[in-house]
Amino acid sequence: MIKRLTALAALLFATQASAEGFLVKCVSGCPEQAVQAPKLKADGEVQVKDTLWFGLSLGLQLAARDNATKEWEAGISLAFQYGFFWRPAWWGVTKSFASINLGVAAGTTINTGSPFVITVPVTVTLLDILAVGYGPRFKLATNSGMTDTVSGVLFFGLATSFGGP
């Protein structure tokens, strides 16, 4: 399971990185740290600016801490979110450096016996792959003897942006 999640994380990261956006090291005459490959305007002037946009993000919630039971839960929930994405001028590795999103996620938990959960999280994503969020989770009872529950959850997972500049 861990190998599959690691492979998924690597695949998501690789699809967001582009060849021209990677940080490149200077051969000579440059600062010691890496610099982003510059974009040129029509008149030859270097164009570097921060970018902020509103767009779609898809994510996977992988682990959550239920505030009602104080227990950690494992599971998989697919999240569709909209929010604001930011890429500073010095960042070129992934499409966005940070984002804040609001959306909905639906899936299942493995270790609690609840086959279907819906979460409405506010999510912060860093490096266009690592996601942390908080929001209400609705556990829907599908078996007799179970009851529907609502509680706040803190979750961790993966996310990536779509669209944008």
> Per residue in 78-125, pLDDT tens?
999 999 999 998 888 899 999 999 999 998 877 666 678 899 999 999
Total domain count for the chain? Answer: 1
Residue of 129, 128, 94 lying closest to 6 (CA atoms): 129
The verdict on residue 154 lying in a domain is yes
Q: Take residue 135 and report the two structure tokens written for it.
A: 């929001």
32 located within any domain? no
Residue 24 and residue 32: Cα distance in Å, rounded? Answer: 11
> How far is it, in rounded angstroms, from Cα 140 to Cα 123?
22
Domain of residue 58 covers 2-26+48-162
The verdict on residue 6 lying in a domain is yes
Residue 35 forms part of a structural domain: no
Q: What percent of the chain has pLDDT over 70?
A: 68
Res 137 pLDDT > 70: yes
Q: Is residue 158 situated within a structural domain?
A: yes
What radius of gyration do the chain's Cα atoms show?
Answer: 20
CB neighbours of residue 55 within 10 Å? 18
> Is the pLDDT score of 33 beyond 90?
no
- 77 DSSP β-pair partners: 61, 107
Single-letter amino acid, residue 114 = S
Task: Compare 10 and 165 and report the one with higher pLDDT.
Answer: 165
- Residue pair 81/61 in contact (Cβ under 8 Å)? The answer is no
In a domain, 58, yes or no: yes
**H/E element holding 105?**
strand 98-109
Confidence of residue 47 (pLDDT cuts 50, 70, 90): low
> What backbone torsions phi and psi does residue 5 show, to the nearest 5 degrees?
-65, -40
**What percentage of the chain exceeds 90 in pLDDT?**
41
| 34 lies in some domain | no
In a domain, 43, yes or no: no
